[in-house]
């Protein structure tokens, strides 16, 4: 509650017998210490709950996503219970005081917490609608990575280059979300390979298929699909887009790197990149 909102509320309505001012006078040092201890205890309990669910997920990989989904719900219920105990058990306000607190809080929210309320509503909608869950690889706006935290105010993900991105839930609520695996352990990995336009396409396709199927990260129970297209960016090129499934989405970058390394090594060995080398030499000589 902001001081301005509290002042406006006190000026707008006379305080009843059990008002906020009376409540402040009734709060003893013992109650204040009890409130602090309660908050600290719940904070430690939340941390312990998160650690326990992570440990269970590591011991039972097949149920890892189930335990990760429980984390935000457990966190929300623990803090909700703490708020109830704090108000009902420690502060124990009268009915008039409770009405006064709710009215003052409403005024405070109206003055300066519109964005916070939007984010809180967005967090509740995310928990109910579940466009993604912990462990999913998603793209929200321009950010792409693995969801590792779903809170009432924001969602956090870690990108493949280990950058932490915090996204307000209101943006998630009004934006577009791309989900690569939707709770599954595997996901599709797309690897783009560029070759000279005069490359033998059939030979290049065979190399790409062999590179994908021989990768230690590939999920062999799902098909490998390769699409060929031509493009131009400073010079013409042949684009081969390899679509394969990784058995664990956490190895997506490793699989992309592995397929690229295997394919490009074979292209070089067969001299299939010589066209670009010759063109570069001519441009350098000119």
pLDDT in tens, 21-77: 555 555 566 777 877 888 888 889 888 988 888 888 888 877 777 777 788 888 888
Both 26 and 13 in one domain: the answer is yes
Both 151 and 241 in one domain: the answer is no
**Residue 272: how many other CB atoms lie within 10 Å:** 21
CB–CB of 138/40 below 8 Å? no
Burial per residue of 204-215, b for 16 or more beta-carbon CB atoms within 10 angstroms, e otherwise: beebbbebbeeb
Full domain range(s) for residue 144: 130-179
Q: Both tokens of residue 189?
A: 């990995």
Both 112 and 198 in one domain: the answer is no
Both 11 and 110 in one domain: the answer is yes
Output the CA torsion sign for 64, 68, 70, 75. Answer: positive
Domain C-terminal end among 155, 179, 203: 179
Using CB atoms within 10 Å of the CB of residue 217, give its burial: 0 to 12 exposed, 13 to 18 middle, 19+ buried.
Answer: buried
Instruction: CATH number of the domain at 141, please.
Output: 2.30.30.60
| Number of alpha carbons in the 13 Å side-chain half-sphere of residue 219 | 18
Pairing of strands 154-158, 164-168: antiparallel
Both 164 and 277 in one domain: the answer is no
Q: Closest Cα to residue 100, out of 5, 188, 28, 193?
A: 5
C-alpha to C-alpha distance for 248 and 185, rounded to whole angstroms = 5
Partnered with residue 192 across adjacent β-strands are 241
Both 48 and 8 in one domain: the answer is yes
Q: What is the per-residue pLDDT for 6?
A: 43
The segments of the chain whose pLDDT lies below 70 read: 1-29, 89-94, 97-98, 101, 105, 108-117, 275, 277-286
Instruction: CATH number of the domain at 221, please.
Output: 3.30.70.100
Q: What is the per-residue pLDDT for 263?
A: 97
Both 88 and 154 in one domain: the answer is no
CB–CB of 159/108 below 8 Å? no
Q: Both tokens of residue 249?
A: 């989405």
Largest CA distance in the chain: 93
C-alpha to C-alpha distance for 80 and 95, rounded to whole angstroms = 20
Identify the DSSP state of 194: E
**Residue 281: how many other CB atoms lie within 10 Å:** 10
Both 90 and 172 in one domain: the answer is no
Domain C-terminal end among 179, 205, 240: 179
Both 225 and 250 in one domain: the answer is yes
Both 120 and 134 in one domain: the answer is no
Both 134 and 214 in one domain: the answer is no
Q: What is the per-residue pLDDT for 277?
A: 60
- Count of domains observed in the chain: 3
C-alpha to C-alpha distance for 15 and 28, rounded to whole angstroms = 21
pTM of the predicted model over 0.85? no
Both 117 and 194 in one domain: the answer is no
């Amino acid at each position: 509650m902001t001081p301005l909102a509290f002042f406006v509320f006190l000026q707008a309505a006379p305080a009843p017998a059990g008002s906020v001012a009376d409540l402040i006078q009734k709060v003893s040092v013992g109650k204040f210490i009890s409130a602090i201890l309660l908050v600290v205890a719940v904070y430690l309990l939340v941390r312990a709950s998160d650690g326990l669910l992570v440990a269970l997920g590591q011991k039972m990989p097949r149920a890892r996503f189930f335990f990760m989904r429980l984390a935000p719900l457990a966190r929300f219920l623990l803090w909700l219970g703490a708020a109830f105990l704090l108000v009902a058990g420690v502060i124990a306000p009268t009915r008039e005081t409770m009405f006064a607190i709710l009215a003052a809080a409403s005024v405070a929210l109206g003055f300066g917490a519109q964005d916070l309320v939007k984010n809180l509503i967005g967090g509740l909608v995310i928990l109910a609608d579940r466009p993604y869950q912990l462990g999913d690889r998603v793209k929200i706006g321009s950010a792409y990575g693995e969801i590792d935290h779903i809170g009432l105010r924001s969602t956090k993900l870690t990108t493949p280059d280990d950058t932490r991105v915090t996204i307000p839930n209101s943006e998630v609520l009004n934006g577009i979300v791309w989900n690569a695996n939707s709770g599954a352990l595997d996901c599709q990995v797309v690897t783009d390979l560029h070759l000279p336009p005069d490359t033998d396409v059939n030979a290049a396709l065979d190399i790409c298929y062999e590179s994908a199927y021989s990768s230690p990260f590939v999920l062999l129970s799902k098909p490998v699909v390769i699409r060929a297209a031509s493009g131009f960016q400073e010079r013409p090129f042949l684009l081969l887009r390899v679509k394969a499934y990784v058995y664990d989405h956490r190895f997506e970058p490793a699989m992309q790197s592995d397929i690229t390394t295997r394919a490009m090594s074979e292209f070089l060995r067969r001299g299939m990149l010589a066209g670009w080398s010759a063109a570069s030499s001519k441009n350098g000589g000119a």
